[in-house]
A and B are shown apart, each in its own frame.
Chain A
């Protein structure tokens, strides 16, 4: 009258082994769940009872005790439903208790009629479980796509509880899910393509440079100048998503329950655009369950903050540390989780509160005080982490009517070339792109000739550039040199890089 089943729980983006045990004894009928379970698990006993009944099994009224081991680790979510149901059925001898415990891991949520429902975080769980040596997994059918990316795992996708019991009796009747490869699924088609952006030659070039060096960029322009469109198109010119990157990003999206059904993975570089009312926790991650935030969901992709000065100061300031570390440590009472957060920050803002300062079409109606207050919302340390700021002007009618521009694919080809130069150059140096250059590496790779050095010096005097702009200009110049395939930074590269620092001039 006792059975146990192997399950897996989720903590951040790591899975951990949980053993579900069920015992039946003679006492007043009822079900107890012990083992630091949260509400979703406590409620599972109702789901499990109905699912068992509706799957055609009869369980006489007895006292059932379900234990989730290890007893000192907090467990959350409905992913133990299937395990609990099988443990109970095993204890009532509807299923062979010995087989249940033979090594397969059972994961899934149950609905009242016994159908298996998908759970969040399947991919990270499988990755952890495979690492721990588990091989066979039984998962809900809808999680099959996601689970199929783990080649080492023998995954069986089932429809309902009844099938799960059948699987225990006759496993050889079932065929495993065919494994798939991340790289074969990565897509190069994006809805937003640079060919739809008419005019904006300057902004297009700036975006290309930003993509080629993974530089954070700030777009300043009046409303309707196409800042949002530019940002939305950016993922389409970022370098191709590697299998490893896709896997990392998919893990985070899986934990957040954001994977598109059917595909089961993140196939393109993500673009996350939280609204400016988003809270600090929503952006960085957290909550009682320490869920990933927007910056982690944008991992290997783009985080777009439109109307940058409208964001609360606190939200902008918390971005500083992840921008340096490429990851964020979310600490809560229950647990501490490190989520990766290697994103490219693209932000948009108006030049003043009314948005028309410097516009060719409309007059600005703001007082100087309003403008300086608006601009002062961006702290120096944050601007410090943004390599490029460019002004975007309104598009004219002629631009709209003009010919179609260059498409993303050909831009991406150039970006890919520049990036591969960078990753070759920085092999073994701990960075992969120019944005990651520190002062030590910069001395080696960003050496300037005399003429360019003179230009920089002159620019500082004439254009009033700040000292912090110096390293930024060098990094961007390095990227421009990479785009044109030059080994050394040339005069023209430095002068172009200087054009991407408009905030420094104010």
Chain B
């Protein structure tokens, strides 16, 4: 009796369903080609030894073309597509053995983004104002230079970086630590959806897989895998972002760290990285130098903002002094409170300034 062997694409789907850990998957695929595996899985006990009994049972159970096709069809229900290792769109960078490539990626969005130069911006979930600003700054500035920003859509730095990219209509790739249908945190759902729409969201996990303690570090290897450089914005001594940095080094990616106050525990990790030899990131120019990009912004189609004479005065002040408290602005620009309020709001509407927490204003 001969078993019909499904296409290679489906075979990788089969492997990805069984959720074998990346390292074991790597070993397994070093020994067997996927079709060989499918053919021999029920006879070859050595496979079981290699991947553990539980996974082996699952692998055997799913080794049926009918079941596989049925499962595969269900993907459309989630609005998710599958990109197999063997597909030509599968990024070469991920195929390095150091990355432990997944058998495939479940994705929503635009695959063409995989061809762009990717830079990851990651950092702690519990970031400070400083971290938030840095994430925002690098997110929007690098997006303006046409880099594709990769991050994890977690709370904190990840979300701020992507928010900035989405706002600047730049390229964004998000790598999830859970299946698409189980996306969390719920606060970022809106952001998730806008990245799905304008960018690309990938996950190596089937849609129904919940995020777990181990999935996030596993995911981190892909974040760095996608990229040519990784920016760690803020990380405490034990932050998950440091795992990304470690993976990046293993994979031969450049690691940039944003320096922080020595008194801030949230910058302890990044400062330590710099000590160990990571590149110190003091401005967008550092990245441009690394990639030898000419100082030329890609998005030049931003509409010029028209300011009237009062607005210009405020704009100039903010330009000179940076983020300023409302009260200080009122006293130094010599406006009455209600005049300043309406002027600032109209500037906000024009997109010239943004209001930060604590009633402070800064230019965009």
A260 CA / B126 CA spacing, docked (Å): 51
> Which chain B residue lies CB-closest to A494?
B342
Report 28 cross-chain contacts, Cβ distance below 8 Å, ordered by A residue: A200-B327, A201-B330, A201-B331, A202-B337, A204-B337, A205-B338, A221-B358, A351-B358, A358-B129, A358-B356, A359-B358, A360-B325, A363-B264, A364-B129, A367-B126, A391-B358, A391-B359, A393-B327, A393-B358, A393-B359, A393-B360, A394-B358, A459-B349, A492-B339, A496-B338, A496-B342, A499-B342, A505-B355
| A363–B127 alpha-carbon span in the complex (Å) | 9
Determine if A498 and B345 form an interchain contact, defined as CB atoms under 8 angstroms apart: yes
- Do the beta carbons of B187 and A202 come within 8 Å of each other? no
Known: A202-B330, A368-B155, A393-B326. 10 other contacts (CB 8 A): A201-B327, A202-B337, A202-B359, A462-B348, A480-B338, A484-B338, A491-B342, A496-B342, A496-B345, A499-B345
CA separation between A392 and B326, bound complex, in Å?
10
CA gap between A366 and B330 in the complex, in Å: 31
Shortest CB distance A391–B (Å)? 4
A461 → chain B, closest Cβ, in Å? 10
CA distance A363 to B357 in the complex (A): 12
Which residues on A are within 8 Å of B, measured CB to CB?
199-202, 204-205, 221-222, 351, 357-360, 363-368, 372, 390-394, 399, 455, 458-459, 462-463, 480, 484, 491-493, 495-496, 498-499, 502, 505
How many whole Å from B27's CB to the nearest CB in chain A? 38
**Residue contact A399 to B345, C-beta cutoff 8 Å:** no
Q: What residues of A have a CB within 8 angstroms of the CB of B355 in the complex? A: 505
Chain B: CB-nearest residue to A484:
B338
Are the CB atoms of A368 and B128 closer together than 8 Å? no
Report yes or no: A458 in contact with B345, Cβ–Cβ below 8 A. Answer: no
Cβ-closest 4 pairs across A and B: A358-B357, A495-B342, A358-B358, A205-B337
Contacting pair B341 A499 (CB below 8 A): yes
Min CB–CB distance B151 → chain A (angstroms): 16
In the assembled complex, the Cα of A372 lies from the Cα of B266 at a distance in Å of 21
Alpha-carbon separation in the docked complex, A368 to B357 (Å)? 15
B125 contacts chain A at the CB level, 8 A cutoff? yes
Q: Mark B351-364, 1 if CB is under 8 A from A, else 0.
A: 10001111110000
Q: Which of B264, B325, B326, B349 contacts A458 (CB 8 A)?
A: B349
In the complex, which residues of chain A have a beta carbon less than 8 angstroms from the beta carbon of B358? 221-222, 351, 358-360, 391, 393-394
In the assembly, what is the distance between CA of A200 and CA of B125, in Å? 32
Give chain B residues whose Cβ lies under 8 Å from the Cβ of A199: 327
Q: How far is the CA of A221 from the CA of B187 in the complex (A)?
A: 23
The answer to whether the Cβ of B316 comes within 8 Å of any Cβ in the partner chain is: no
Q: Verify A392–B348 contact, CB threshold 8 A.
A: no
Instruction: Report which of A202, A459, A484 forms a contact with B326, defined as CB distance below 8 A.
Output: A202
Residues on B with C-beta less than 8 A from A496 are 338, 341-342, 345
Name the CB-closest residue of B to A367.
B126
Residues of B within 8 A of A222 (CB): 358
- CB contacts (< 8 Å) of B359 on chain A: these are 202, 390-393, 502
Q: Whole-angstrom distance from the CB of A219 to the nearest CB of chain B?
A: 11
A368 B348 Cβ-Cβ under 8 A: no
Measured between alpha carbons, how far is A368 from B126 in the docked complex, in Å? 7
Interface: B84 (CB within 8 A): no
In the complex the two chains form, what is the Cα distance from A205 to B335 in whole Å? 13
Residues of B within 8 A of A202 (CB): 326-327, 330, 337, 341, 359
| Chain A hits for B303, CB < 8 A | none
In the bound assembly, the distance between CA atoms of A221 and B346 in angstroms comes to 24
Q: Are A368 and B185 in contact (CB under 8 A)?
A: yes
Please give the distance in Å from A35's CB to the nearest CB on chain B.
63
Residues of B near A498 (CB, < 8 A) are 345
Question: How distant is B264 from chain A, measured CB to nearest CB, in Å?
Answer: 7
Q: Is the CB of B128 within 8 A of A364?
A: yes
B187 touches A368 (CB 8 A): yes
Q: Does residue B344 face the partner (Cβ distance < 8 Å to A)?
A: yes
Residue of chain A at shortest CB distance from B188: A368
Contact partners of A366 in chain B: CB under 8 A = 126
**Chain B residues within an 8 Å CB radius of A455:** 346, 349
Do A463 and B348 touch (CB < 8 A)?
yes
Q: Nearest Cβ in chain A — how far from B240, in angstroms?
A: 14
Closest A residue to B130 using CB positions: A363
How many angstroms between the C-alpha atoms of A399 and B351 in the bound complex?
Answer: 30
Distance in Å from the Cβ of B211 to the closest Cβ of chain A? 15
User: Given A357-B357, A459-B349, are A205 and B341 also a contact pair (CB < 8 Å)?
Assistant: yes
Task: Say yes or no for B48: interface residue by CB 8 A criterion.
Answer: no
For chain B residues 160-211, which have a beta carbon within 8 Å of chain A?
A: 185, 187
Chain B: minimal CB distance from A221 (Å)? 8
Select the residue from B341, B358, B360 with max chain A CB neighbours within 10 A. Answer: B358
Choose from B128, B337, B341 the contact partner of A495 (Cβ within 8 Å).
B341
Contact A368:B125 (CB < 8 A) given known A200-B327, A201-B331, A393-B327:
yes
Interface of chain B residues 133 through 151 with chain A (CB within 8 A): none
Contact for A201 among B126, B337, B342, B356, CB less than 8 A: B337
List chain A residues, Cβ under 8 A from B155: 368
Q: Tell me whether B327 and A368 are in contact (CB under 8 A).
A: no
Query: For residue B128, which residues in chain A have a CB less than 8 angstroms away from its CB?
Result: 363-364
Q: Which residues of A sit under 8 angstroms from B125, Cβ to Cβ?
A: 367-368
Are A399 and B348 neighbours in the complex by a CB distance under 8 Å? no
By beta carbon, the residue of chain B nearest A391 is B359
Residues of B within 8 A of A360 (CB): 325, 358, 360
B156 within 8 A of A: yes
Minimal Cβ-Cβ distance residue in A for B190: A464
Specify which chain A residues have a CB less than 8 angstroms from the CB of B327 in the assembled complex. 199-202, 393, 399
In the bound assembly, the distance between CA atoms of A166 and B356 in angstroms comes to 75
Chain B nearest Cβ from A478, distance in angstroms:
14
Bound Cα distance from A367 to B266, whole angstroms: 13
Shortest CB distance A155–B (Å) = 50
Expressed in whole angstroms, the Cα–Cα distance for A495 and B325 within the complex equals 19
